[in-house]
Amino acid sequence: MATRKNAPSLYEALSHAPVREAGNKPDLTIYRSPGKPQFGRFQFEAPAEGLVQRNPPHGTETKWTREFEIAWTKWGDAGPLVLFLHGVPTNRAQWEPTQKEVARFCRTISIDMLAMGESTKPRLYGRKDKPNLNPGDNTQWYWPGDVHYIEKLMQHEFKGEKFFFVADDWGSGILSHYAAKHNDRLLGIAHLDPITFDGYPVNEIQAIGRASQIPDTPEGDQQFAMLFGAFDQTLVQIYKTMVYDPNVYNQYNLRWITFPYVDVDYERNRAGDGVSDVAKSTTLRLKLHPMRVLAERAAILSPALLLPHHPEKNPNGVKYQDTTVPALILWGEYDNMMPAAQTQRFAYVLGTDDVEIQYVPRAGHFAGTDNPLFVANAIVNFVRRAAGREKLADVNLGTQGIWKGDERLMIRDLRDIYGIDARPELER
């Protein structure tokens, strides 16, 4: 404990009289500011080519390339490092409410996985010279491929630094493979409503994967476009069944989650005059290219990729026993897609006895969307326990519940006692 000179005692820190104007509701302004998010891209050379869509000045074109990009958002300037990976069919915007709160205590980075969000969307990835390859047999889309670029990205942005890896839904499948291969790079892992073991695939994503069987021809594209003419409605229905409270999604925040499959306002109204390209039912254009790439990614899903590794029976499975870092398993209390009873299995398949299990109240499959404050607090507490309380960028007094009203004084004293400087990096 790095106690500062003349710091108050723990008794004094926890014995302040309530401050009347503070009230008794959580006041998150007592914490250090997360600052402003930063946005960027990581460029890397993929092991195979894909057909990538470009937008030059005079229209859209496609070309074969292995030069791909992974889009990222960094938030927070102090504390342990935390990586966030999203689920499907979403993008890193899914993590923003939780990431913002965690960024008060940690440095964070969230990424769009390959083929989603603002990252490169390579169609026919690895199939340039294999036109007859069944999409479901395309090993380029197996999750070890995501492990490859994630490790490259983290080494490029934070060379040699260990980090906490947090993922939900489909991203958790990637996390499982990453942790088994790069256990030495991690301080801990956190799964949020993960797809795991033999509880996957699910019908909603399987149906999208089946569309990958449509031929990659102009006629096939026309057939795909007709079959997926209501894909924007399908997406909204999928999202609203993945949460406990469907009202967490509305016409505005859905624009970020449905990207890049549906145009958003700044794309529809490029003319800038508010008239010529204003959104109408027929101008809410669906994006054929990213939709077909999503179908190709979804086509490879199978329980075998998430069941434990076996050298003969399941060579592409996960070597769960090689993950020995602390683990947090969070599951939405009302997840109606993936059975929450699977949480207990992690305690017996991971190579660590340090497995913490929590159920997120009032939350469905996208628990971080339903209850971001609870999820953020659970992650911060997990980081505190695994990395040490002095490593956090601020003292954490929680985000929910009834407060006494002296928390602004209490956190000031606890910062002194534990030697935590909660000023932004630029002010130190």
The Cα–Cα gap between 133 and 139 comes to 10
| Proportion of the chain above pLDDT 70, given as a percent | 92
Q: Are the C-beta atoms of residues 98 and 376 closer than 8 Å to each other?
A: yes
Are residues 175 and 167 in contact, defined by beta-carbon separation less than 8 angstroms?
yes
Sign, CA torsion 81/298/117/43 = positive
Report the residue count for the chain: 428
Of the pLDDT bands very low, low, confident and very high (cuts 50, 70, 90), residue 347 is: very high
pLDDT tens digits for range 207-263 = 899 999 999 899 999 999 999 989 999 999 999 999 999 999 988 888 889 999 987
pLDDT, position 100: 97
Q: What is the pLDDT of residues 268-326, one digit of tens each?
A: 555 555 555 555 665 557 889 999 999 999 998 888 899 999 999 999 999 999 999 99
CA distances from 11 to 14, 22, 67, 394, 413 (A): 5, 21, 59, 20, 10
The hierarchical CATH code for the domain 33-393 is 3.40.50.1820
